Structure 1
Amino acid sequence: MLSRIGRFHITGELGRGTVGAVYIGHDPVIDRDVAIKIFNPKLTPQERRAHEQQLINEARAAGRLSHPHIVTIFEASSEGPETYIAMEFLRGRELSKLLDEGHKFELDDVASIIWKLSDALHYAHQQNVVHRDIKPANIFLVADHQPKLVDFGIARAPNRIAENLAGAEEPFTLFRNNLLGTPNYMSPEQATGREVDSRTDIYSLGAVMFEMLTGRKPFVSRDTDKLLHLIAYKAPDKPHEVDASIPIALSKIVMKAMSKQPERRYQSADEMTNEIKRYLIDGKRARRRLKMSMPVDEVEDGADQPIYARPSFLIGCIALAGAVAMVAWQVWHF
């Protein structure tokens, strides 16, 4: 294993694949840990060139973005035979792994996570950066389910170097026939090789939301061509019809985001963000109204409950009133 690259001291390995590896590095200047992507030295010159272009593109796309829900890029450079990118070291897990394990998210957690991601996409789109590969594997959840959007390797951004990476191979990612993206989550326009814009990210985020709510992908097929056909021409099931416990309001958000025609989707990620915010706010108001209408003995004793409505407070008041009455009686008859 490498012991050093650039100014970074390598302290461990996070993961390894056919293309390269991700290491934990320590920056002695800033005194912080970073994640460092480098390539497998056994790649052919052609493969290496294609992936170096992808890595540089990631640095150029994400490196110009500063948002709490987008991974921060610190540095990208070539040193001797090594091309690397140093980024924020995230402590948590990929959303894809949680979904694969059958993790069931609370409805408000789904809404909160997707709201933060749509806000991150809105910011990226304002900087003319389109991710083009939104999927659970590129969403990292850190403490308290705070999401981080990662891997801008095939993003479209100003000064993009690698627009067509035909011939390169990446697990679960298509680069042939000008298709860039992951099949299960790509938009209909990606699936048919048409030109894409920021609304392609909105579709893909809707597909991620669908899976988080229902526990299954919108479209599934072992045959790639059939899968692309389903994505391009078949409407997904409505989430609330898959699972009756899913609110229709959330189901409508998913269906609008996943409209086949881009012009029928949310026209900006900000629109999707605001729609989810309304759902969360309306839900809180409804719960507050329900709690206020409940009898005192049915309201759960919690931190958000008024002190005068808590059973312990009422019992204390009764006891205190009894004590005061007893003292008054004794004083009166003294």
Structure 2
Amino acid sequence: MFGIDHLDVHPTKELSKDKHTPKKQKILERVKATAKFPTAQVKRIIIFSELWIDVDVTFGFDRLERDNIKVISGIYQNPDSPNKVKSNFTVTGMDGVTLNLLLENQSEKLGDASAKAVVDVRVPRGYSDLETLLIYTKQGSFKYDETSLNRLPYVTNLHYESSLGKLKSKLVKASTAIIKTKANSIDTAFYVEKGVTLQTYDANITSRIFLQNADNSYVDVRAKNGSIDVSMLSKYSGLIGLRAFKGSTRIVDRGTNMNFELNEAKTRGYVFNTNLNPKQTNSSILLENNEGPISLQFS
């Protein structure tokens, strides 16, 4: 078993001070990642990407403990398209568990809307847990994949934000999850212990949410110009909020016996409140929709 106590990625941009340096001098973005190995799990991964073009991304590792931990980092640059940069690093433990992170830039010119960053996290054998996975991109996507059938990957805190990115993942087990995108859909499934927040502005949200240890848990789903389709497949006692300004809102629950009441009706939408259990506090459902239908199904 291997682990990383913390892995912080902070890019810095440097330009040559030489007066003879051409104006089109490449911007060098240096990323340093420090890895420590005192524990048996990945504690924190933080990645910031501003998607500059003509950027070399390098990862420098300070190996402080356990020399038998294998750390590989590298840069791939297509000679036919020098502006397309793909960088990745791999951390491999003694037991063969591998954690891959891929940062990819596929733009031909500065400011090209086709630029994207892809963060690809894979844990082939499913042994490595993530305490915090925090990712910010401007134009990118995030894929979280678990190829092992032995057990689910566990993320204590999953936080992903992207202006023009998309999220698609297989089942993720997490204590809390915050997913925010601006112009692309969210399609994922969660085992959540405490709560999940899904927000998108101009796209749809489709999610299957399994709540565990659900005392005072929460689900907060918001879509401004898209539809919400959420399937709740376990008992819960927390706050459920779904808000869609334009589009349809649908919640399907197959695991909870609800007492449903319609408290308020609006011109273009409805607000629903319900007590899931009179003996439990903070147990309610809030559905808001300004322009579109709301469909509820309980069984």
TM-score under structure 2 length normalisation? 0.28
Larger Cα-atom Rg: 1
TM-score under structure 1 length normalisation? 0.26
Higher helix proportion, which one?
A: 1
Q: Which has the higher contact order (CA 8 A, sep 6+)?
A: 1
